[in-house]
Amino acid sequence: MTKQINMDQQLVYRFGGGRADGSQEMKNLLGGKGANLAEMAGHPELQLPVPPGFTITTDTCNAYYEAGRHFPAKLEDEVMAALERIEELTGKTYGNVNNPLLLSVRSGARQSMPGMMDTVLNLGLNDETVQGLIAQTNDPRFAYDAYRRLIMMYADVVMEKAAGIPPVQGKGIRKLLDEHLEGIKKARGFELDTELTEADLRQIVAHFKAIVKREIGEPFPEDPMAQLWGGIGAVFDSWNGKRAKEYRRIEGLPDEWGTAVNVQAMVFGNMGKDCATGVAFTRNPGTGEHKFYGEFLFNAQGEDVVAGIRTPQPINEASKNTQSENLQTLEEVMPEIYAQLNNYQQQLEAHYKDMQDLEFTIEKGKLYILQTRTGKRNGTAAVRMAAEMYQEGMIDRPTALMRVNPNQLTELLLPRLDAMAERAATPIAKGLPAGPGGAMGKAVFSSEKAVELRQAGENVILVREETSPEDVDGMYHAAAVLTAKGGMTSHAALVTRGWGKCCIVGCNGLDINEAEGYFTTPDGAKVKEGDYISLNGATGKVYLGSMPVVDVDLADNDAYQTLMALVDETKVLGVRANAESPADAANALRFGAEGVGLFRTEHMFYGKGSEKPLYLLRKMILSANRKERRAALKELFGYIKSDIKKTLAVMNGKPVTIRLLDPPLHEFVPHDRQRLEELAEELAVDVSILEKRVLALHENNPMLGHRGVRLGISYPEITETQVRAILEAAAELNMEGRQALPEIMIPVTCSRNELQDQEKIVKCIYKEVCASLGVDEIPYLFGTMIETPRAALRSGPMAEIAQFFSFGTNDLTQMSFGFSRDDIGGFLPIYLEKGILVNDPFQVLDRRGVGELVRLAVERGRAQRPGLKTGICGEHGGEPQSVAFCHRIGLDYVSCSPFRVPIARLAAAQAAIQHPRQ
Ligand code: ADP
Ligand code: MG
Ligand code: MG
């Protein structure tokens, strides 16, 4: 939808000389750069030395397209009037042979957008005006250098890229001109551009023009007005260039925005030793420290600082790094200018109330500010700036909380590779950065080896072609996971993300030989089992050798503590953790969990220390009859009780939701002959009989098979044993002076009758335990998971019995979509690519479908039982968008893996700010 330009609409907004037509509020119309230039130039509190100029509005861009790429009729008059104003302010005239004004043309959409047109500097130069520039500056070398730069930029940006013609000779005009320049330097035996003489540069200008004409088929425009309009048109055209369109598609930005064009008087940082150009931040963007930070180059123009041709110098002591520690600072060389710049940066930050990223140029001892914008920052810096700006009284609590993207907290929570060590090393491979943080350990190629070495106290990194559910134990024990295949939603990426474990996937240069235990890299490096490697999960880089991994200590991080205190004052939604061991629970508390939202009893049968309980469980599963089963359960009882008791003890005073046994029994039975024989002996039956029992447990579709509440109904003694363990553990803790708050949760239910059946067992055991331990009361809740669509629909009747609902959104997603979680790899990437799904529904809760079921179940459940407690557990509980949804539909809490608890807390606080609950 393109807007029509009406007659009285202003198309051109001027700035400079202490005044501006626009302001920072006008980003939509003037673009980000233009709005900020206007603000800096014209706001009474600022009135900074911004070279004068004007901004052509985004509406003009839209009108340009509407008219089939023609400028609106009245644009010319407005541009000419604005140009005159620049001429007045600078005392120079555009296109004038004696005293020429030079201009820059800069693009500027609402958001900074890679893919938009690059800036063209020095517009207005030609064979005649260059003489004027020589007269003005008394520096012919400088003048010809500026001229050859203009030809190069103009040919590249305007004549080639914006015009959309294919790169000449396959490499593009800029490269071609660059090669020519290098050729001349080489012929003269020069190393640096600065060695070229005036005569050289004059010759280069002539050659450049000839090359442009020959290669592009059109001459470089000598007419300054043609240059200006060519530049303006090119900015507009770049809005619909391939790169810009691609970027908008990926970022979901609308085509209707259009771009503004900024035209501005040139100032020169490259006119000699008293000239410089630089980039600075009002606070350190890497650490967040409240210190002015920046880099600059003497005698340089435009983006030389960013281009990295020369090592930039630090503006002050605080900006020194290992490369620049011996260089002179701006503060040392030009103390007055530095003081002025320091003043401006303070003004800018106070004005915008956020960290600013600014560009400055010093021309012959005079300072100019060319740009300001809100600076990008990493997670560590974001937290520190938000907390400190709040403490300084610069911003209020909601603003501070909205400043940090919850996912950025991840950076603060994880151990990472020592930055110094990493800088000194060269990566041997690079993959997709699936999991944050860093890790170091011995390479291993199988899950078993990972567990074995880990139990022997070694740090290991599991290297696999790709991972599958069988690798989970090894992944759990590994410090990190590295896979050659798979994308950001592969099994390895998903599982490790939940744990906050470092992971690199899709490292497709690796040639992995799992059987023989080694991999080779594209460069031929060979890493064998037991060799140390180090991974940076934030960049996807893999290093050979062991690098120090530095742990983070949140207790020491004042900024984090300050921010999280604000979080807790603000959020309404509770945040619990999924934990299945005392260690998990302790971690959860450290991260601020208010309870355990999911404790899976079956966890005790996996991994370290599980041999004996697993053996007993198997005995129970393969029992021939109820009597044998009861006997096995009796032996198992002590293990279950102590397992639960330990976690309840750690969570003292906080609720712990304990889910009764959920997986299909077949998952636990031994599949190797030796184990089966041992069991057969113990149960005094023949192996063949046992084999038959194992076979009988086999199911075609175990996900939808004999599991969850169905086990408890067909084998009531399984429920009895677990409930007795929970209640005894709780009662004993209470007698020891602690406060246990168990919540007994029945999994995979879909009807009221199932719950009633199980409740009867619970009530009966409750009486027995109270009587046998001689207590009057053991506080507990009885509730259910809602993880089938039918349960969501029948939540009203189910709430007659359940005191709480916990939405198992993993299974609920699986069953609502009919997508098997373990098998989506085949089609999900295609769905995402074609836009059939916007997100992976296992990562971001599907609000329209699955979320609607949750909302409805809460509504029906609460209608039946007003005090019904509701929460979700599963991957979504730690995902910010999903957390926000849970807040909006009025859940009591979300539960997620311990390490995602801070992320969920911040997301909950932000949701409370954006959608206050009545
Ligand atoms: P970007 O969006 O890439 O930051 P800019 O428009 O800021 O592009 O310009 C690129 C470079 O050119 C910057 O270093 C900027 O400071 C410099 N520049 C832009 N306009 C002028 C000008 N009028 N005088 C001097 N340098 C300029
Ligand atoms: Mg740019
Ligand atoms: Mg810039």
Dihedral sign, Cα of residue 812, residue 817, residue 818, residue 819: negative
* Residues in the chain with pLDDT values less than 70: 1-5, 303, 305-309, 322-323, 488-489, 497-498, 500
What one-letter code names the amino acid at 705?
A: G
Residue 65: C-alpha distances to residues 31, 107, 259, 424, 627 (Å) = 17, 16, 11, 51, 83
Tell me what pLDDT residue 3 has.
53
User: Best of 90, 371, 376 to mutate for ligand 1, by most ligand atoms within 8 A of CB?
Assistant: 371
Neighbours of 683 (CB within 10 A): 18
Tell me what pLDDT residue 809 has.
95
Contact 880, 406 (CB under 8 A): yes
Tell me what pLDDT residue 489 has.
58
Contact 453, 447 (CB under 8 A): no
Q: How far apart are CA 82 and CA 76, in angstroms?
A: 10
Tell me what pLDDT residue 1 has.
43
Q: How far apart are CA 694 and CA 213, in angstroms?
A: 82
Strand order in the sheet with 53-56: 19-20, 12-16, 53-56, 260-265, 103-108, 120-123
Q: Is the pTM of this model over 0.85?
A: no
Closest ligand 1 atom to residue 107 Cα is 6
Closest ligand 1 atom to residue 370 Cα is 16
Closest ligand 1 atom to residue 106 Cα is 6
Decide: 267 in ligand 1 pocket, CB within 6 A: yes
Tell me what pLDDT residue 114 has.
72
**Which residues are within 8 A (CB) of 800 and not within 5 positions of it... i.e. 6 or more apart?**
752, 864, 865
> Could you give the residue numbers annotated as active site?
491, 873
Contact 408, 386 (CB under 8 A): no
Q: Which residue has the tokens 């070694």?
A: 458
Decide: 266 in ligand 1 pocket, CB within 6 A: yes
Tell me what pLDDT residue 12 has.
98
Look at residue 171 and give its three-state secondary structure. coil
Q: How far is the CA of 508 from the centre of ligand 1 (A)?
A: 39
Q: How far apart are CA 768 and CA 762, in angstroms?
A: 10
714-741 b/e (C-beta count within 10 Å ≥ 16 → b): ebbbbbbbbbbbbbbbbbbbbeeebebb
**Which residues are within 8 A (CB) of 619 and not within 5 positions of it... i.e. 6 or more apart?**
632, 635, 679, 682, 683
Contact 620, 554 (CB under 8 A): no
Q: How far apart are CA 145 and CA 217, in angstroms?
A: 24
Whose Cα sits closest to atom 9 in ligand 1?
Answer: 119
Q: How far is the CA of 589 from the centre of ligand 1 (A)?
A: 50
Q: How far apart are CA 788 and CA 794, in angstroms?
A: 10
Tell me what pLDDT residue 8 has.
81
- Measure CA of the first residue to CA of the last residue in the chain; give whole Å: 38
Q: How far apart are CA 726 and CA 745, in angstroms?
A: 11
Tell me what pLDDT residue 2 has.
46
Residue 33: C-alpha distances to residues 106, 213, 333 (Å) = 9, 33, 30
Decide: 37 in ligand 1 pocket, CB within 6 A: no
- Residue 27 phi/psi, 5° resolution? -60, -35
Decide: 34 in ligand 1 pocket, CB within 6 A: no
Strand residues in 431-554 grouped as ranges (E)? 432-435, 438-444, 460-464, 480-483, 502-505, 511-513, 518-520, 526-528, 532-536, 541-544, 549-550
Tell me what pLDDT residue 308 has.
54
Q: How far is the CA of 279 from the centre of ligand 3 (A)?
A: 9
Structure tokens at 718: 């399984």
DSSP for 412-435 reads HHS-EE-HHHHHH---SEE-EEEE
Tens digit of each residue's pLDDT (9 = 90 or more) over 319-334: 987 667 899 999 999 9
β-pair partners for 103: 123, 265
